[in-house]
């Protein structure tokens, strides 16, 4: 029988302090960093009940090159067909405005010219479709 105490191994360094430092650094960087730029002012976006479908309205497309299209028509014929389709939908009791889908690369002056042409054709209201970021 051996009554000598067992030989103890040297204790390895504890990694708990290192984990504490890592978490403190993580919290510091999360608290001091900005993930998105601040908004210039508060905006309350419109809300819609979940599952609500927008009514089908005519859509006029404007390409980055300034080409106008509605369904299978292009140019002035597309504008005339778009205004006629929007008028027909208004006659059916739809109060939602027709939509304009403009390419992000199109110049604002081109959109303004198109809106002027739509006004001259008899359309008083158009909703510009934008993508949410």
Q: What is the DSSP letter of 24?
A: H
pLDDT tier for residue 78 given thresholds of 50, 70 and 90 = confident
Residue 12 or residue 45, greater confidence: 12
Nearest to 118 by CA among 94, 97, 96: 97
Domain range annotation of the chain = 59-128
* The model's pTM: 0.56
Dist CA 82 CA 76 (whole Å): 10
Average pLDDT over residues 62-80: 84
Whole-number pLDDT of residue 64: 81
Q: Does domain 59-128 have CATH number 3.30.420?
A: yes
* Mean pLDDT for the stretch of residues 92-116: 81
Q: Is 70 exceeded by the pLDDT of residue 110?
A: yes
Task: Name the β-bridge partners of 68.
Answer: 62
For 78-103, what is the mean pLDDT? 80
The H-or-E segment that residue 59 falls in is: strand 59-62
Evaluate if residue 103 carries a pLDDT over 60.
Answer: yes
């Amino acid at each position: 029988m051996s009554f000598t105490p067992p030989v103890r191994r040297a204790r390895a360094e504890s990694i708990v302090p290192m984990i504490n430092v890592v978490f403190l650094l993580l919290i510091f960087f999360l608290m001091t960093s900005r993930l998105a730029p601040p908004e210039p002012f508060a905006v309350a976006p419109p809300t819609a009940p979940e599952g609500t479908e927008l009514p089908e309205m005519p859509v006029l497309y404007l390409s980055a090159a300034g080409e106008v299209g509605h369904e299978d028509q292009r140019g002035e014929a597309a504008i005339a067909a778009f205004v006629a389709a929007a008028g027909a939908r208004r006659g059916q009791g739809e109060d939602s405005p027709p939509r304009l889908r403009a390419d992000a690369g199109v110049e604002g002056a081109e959109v303004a010219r198109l809106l002027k042409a739509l006004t001259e054709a008899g359309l008083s209201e158009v909703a510009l479709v934008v993508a949410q970021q």
